A and B are shown apart, each in its own frame.
Chain A
Amino acid sequence: MNPYTVTFETGRHYKVHKSYIWVGPLIALVVVIAAVLLNGASGWVQLILFIQEEGFRVEVLTVVLGAVGSFVLLWLVITGLYALAYKHMSYVFGPLEFSFYSGVFVKKRVHMPYEKVQSVNHRASLIQRLVGVCTVTIDSAGGSANKAVRVPYVTLQTAERMRNDLFVRKAAAAAGVPVEYIGDEAVAVGAAAPGARGGAPVPPGMPPVASAPVPGAGAPNIIDDAFQPVGDWRGLYGGAVLAEEPVTFEYSLSNKELVLASISHPGPLAAGLIVALSLLVCMGIALTQNDWFAAVLLAFGVPLALVAAIVVWALGSLGILLGYGGFKVRRRGSRIEVERGLITRNFSGIDVDRIQYVEVRQSVFRRLLRHSELSLGRIGTSSQSSSENKESAAKGLLIHPFVANGSVDALLDGLLPEFADRPARDACAKLPPKALGRNVRRRCLWFNWVLWTALICLGCWALTIYLILADDPTVDAVRAQLVFDHLVGIAVAIAVVAVVLSVAYYAVSAVLWARHSRYGWNKRYLLLHNDGLSTVLRIVPRTKIQSGITRDNPFQRRVSLTTLQAATAAGVNRTTVQLLDVPAAQGAAYLEWLE
């Protein structure tokens, strides 16, 4: 029996889901109505005043009817356009490639040869989720000339079938065997036995791991429990879950992990800090103006700034929490699948062969909590349009936002048994002692942007006052000089405090970096660990290092140190991972290792 069975007929044009015709215009109409209501607010107020004064008259009716009528007309026009677009939109599973046809006037056809398929992901916005449809993105596995095919509005079940078929056809194309069409009824409600249906055969290196939960990572959390129906909600047309290849390893986030991951996310923390600082600075400036005003500010302003900062931080964290909600990571066959998001649902997958590197990252706060963020470096596609996608393409595929440092190894072993023979961090080499002094100087002095910004700002200010405005008798110039005399002490004090703080921060970071950074390689992997207050550890398979580089400046050469770099194809263009101040002999050995 042919193991390569597919559920989409070769060469047949399939349409996207018909909800495309009414969901798209619905969103557009909501936007238009909101814009009109907001923009024409004064007109509506006048209309209401008119009604109050004159009573409900025929004129009012015409205005309201006109408004409603134009909305209806607009909606009809938009719907018509969407219907026209829908009519010309279809996708085809060809003998060698997948094609997506679109365009009313300008016909577009996007191809994707099956061998090039890297991952098939889908994403659904809130409204799409209610309806049960999603947008499928097929990423290619080319080099720098990456592209992705986006198929909008297909039902969840169709998306799962598409993913399965694309991978079956890819495997069949690689094996040179024709696929067999078994009809789309065969897949209804999990009719296929797991593993029996197609799918890329499990690679020989894959040990059959039982679904053993990682300690602390297996228990589902309150959010997922409470929102179970939300997380699993497949919408109006979603269809039943398809049986695919068996899952060999799976985990989700525990309560603690979910909450701490959200509140320790650097984004909202930074936003809260910026809000608090800018409010405090504004108050500081106001304080120099007036006595009674200052007293009021001190009494109410400082608590207000704190509350504002906490609100910003809490709201930001809530957003992150919703994004991490329903976080599920699965190892299925040779692929890793990540599903997440309570409101917008995101499904993203990667073949183990496509992983450019494994990254273990800690921000300052997370380092204090002894937890790390795990992600997989992957090749980004250039046509990913929305900003969030771009960000995720650059950052790689997040596989755990908050895992206890002790459990990292166990988790990686379960999810990626292929990486089992990676070098152990503790067995890797440390940096030589001379790296310490060099890096304290480098970070605290040469690369300390706070120091240079403070110096340049103060210098320019003083120069302006003393050189350009010194002999200028105009009122503005005299005022500027008075302000300078009044504030120069405070400004210098603030600058000194900022510089001292930054030097302390960078010094601690540099010491930690020099003490705890590691590097090493074995037969198949390179490990580079940059420690510090925030840390990044990357494990790069040797086969994913496109070129090995060592570079050194005269100061490094004097003490025979060099910078180790590995260029990988991860990200949209490329990602270079590096570690400074490795002994020059080790740099040469590293290049020889790559040969």
Chain B
Amino acid sequence: MKPMPANQLDPRVKAVWRINDAIWITICAVAALGCAALLASLPETEEVGGLLLVGFAIVAVALYIIFLAVLPPIRFARWRYEVSPDYLDIAKGIIWRKRYTIPFIRVQNTDTRQGPILRAFHLASVTVSTAADEHEIPGLDAQTADALRDKAAEFARLAREDV
């Protein structure tokens, strides 16, 4: 069997995932709970509204537990990458485990991206695009990200633009 790629992401990415997911869950939960509370306040739909309120609250708590406590360590443990001279190797996925091999000679361009949350942790993500698909390596420390980007860009110059 092929060994797993050597590098892991920066451990701080777990915090980034948690904050990101917490924001989304909170937005959805507030919207859903608000609708349910509105229903509960009306006399005709009091009963249904109350049930929905409890139901949504349980779902929200479950989502918080799954996305903040359970998933990030597993996702972090499964996410691996390795940059070898000729290709980029990525392994990820918890249930559906995926393994990508992207020859650098096919890479059309590479970008680094840094959203507000990533920036707060001094992290960046690198996106490697081929003519067919895009692969994002989230959460590398800014220096590693730049080094990876430069390396991929160097190969990308050699790649033929005609596909």
Contact = CB atoms under 8 A, between A and B. Distances in A.
Contact of B163 (A141, A547, A551, A588): A141
B130 A591 contact: no
B103 A141 contact: no
B98 interface: yes
A163 interface: no
B6 to A, nearest CB: 15
A549 B99 contact: yes
Nearest to A566: B132
Given A546-B106, A551-B93, A142 B161 contact: yes
B133 A553 contact: no
A594 B103 contact: yes
Contacts of B1: 584-585, 588
Nearest to A567: B132
21 contacts: A141-B161, A141-B162, A143-B161, A354-B162, A544-B163, A547-B106, A547-B132, A550-B98, A551-B93, A551-B96, A551-B97, A553-B96, A553-B97, A569-B130, A574-B131, A574-B132, A574-B133, A584-B1, A588-B2, A594-B101, A595-B86
Contact of B132 (A141, A546, A594): A546
B155 to A, nearest CB: 13
Contacts of A356: 163
Interface string B24-43: 00000000000000000000
A575 B132 CA distance: 8
B100 to A, nearest CB: 5
A552 B78 CA distance: 14
A143 B99 CA distance: 23
B56 interface: no
A546 B95 contact: no
A546 B100 CA distance: 10
Contacts of A549: 98-101
Contacts of B84: 595
The 4 closest A-B pairs by CB, nearest first: A546-B132, A569-B131, A546-B130, A574-B132
Given A143-B108, A547-B106, A591 B99 contact: yes
Given A143-B161, A588-B1, A594-B87, A547 B133 contact: yes
B102 interface: yes
A235 interface: no
Interface in B111-129: 129
Interface magnitude class on chain A: 35 or more
Contacts of B133: 546-547, 567, 574
Contacts, number: 92
Contacts of A584: 1
Given A547-B100, A592-B2, A553 B106 contact: no
Interface string A552-583: 11100100000000011100001110000000
Contacts of B129: 143-144
Contacts of B162: 115, 118, 141, 353-354
A576 B132 CA distance: 9
A455 B161 CA distance: 51
Given A353-B162, A553-B96, A143 B2 contact: no
Interface in B135-158: 135
A141 B96 CA distance: 34
Contacts of A595: 84, 86-87, 101, 103
Nearest to A593: B101
Nearest to A379: B163
Nearest to A553: B96
Contacts of B89: 591
Interface in A343-363: 353-354, 356
B99 A569 contact: no
B101 A547 contact: yes
Interface of B: 1-2, 84, 86-87, 89, 93, 95-103, 106, 108, 129-133, 135, 161-163
A547 B135 contact: yes
A504 B20 CA distance: 47
Given A550-B98, A569-B132, A591-B99, 6 more contacts: A143-B161, A379-B163, A549-B101, A551-B99, A567-B130, A568-B132
Interface in A369-405: 379
A548 interface: yes
Contacts of B86: 595
A356 B100 CA distance: 19
A574 B129 CA distance: 12
Contacts of B106: 545-547
Nearest to B91: A550
Contacts of A143: 108, 129-131, 161, 163
Interface string A533-550: 000000000001111111
Given A546-B132, A547-B130, A591-B2, A569 B163 contact: yes
Contacts of A568: 132
A569 B162 CA distance: 11
Nearest to B162: A141
Interface in A287-316: none
B103 A554 contact: no
A590 to B, nearest CB: 9
Contacts of B131: 143-144, 379, 546, 569, 574
A552 B132 contact: no
Contacts of B108: 143
A243 to B, nearest CB: 28
Contact of B97 (A142, A353, A552): A552
A552 B93 CA distance: 9
Contacts of A548: 100-102
Contacts of A576: 132
A595 B106 CA distance: 11
Nearest to A551: B98
Contacts of B99: 549-551, 587, 591
B74 to A, nearest CB: 14
B100 A552 contact: no
A551 B97 CA distance: 5
A568 B163 CA distance: 9
A557 B97 contact: yes
Contacts of B161: 141-143
A354 B162 CA distance: 8
A554 B101 contact: no
B35 to A, nearest CB: 23
A551 B129 CA distance: 20
A569 B131 CA distance: 6
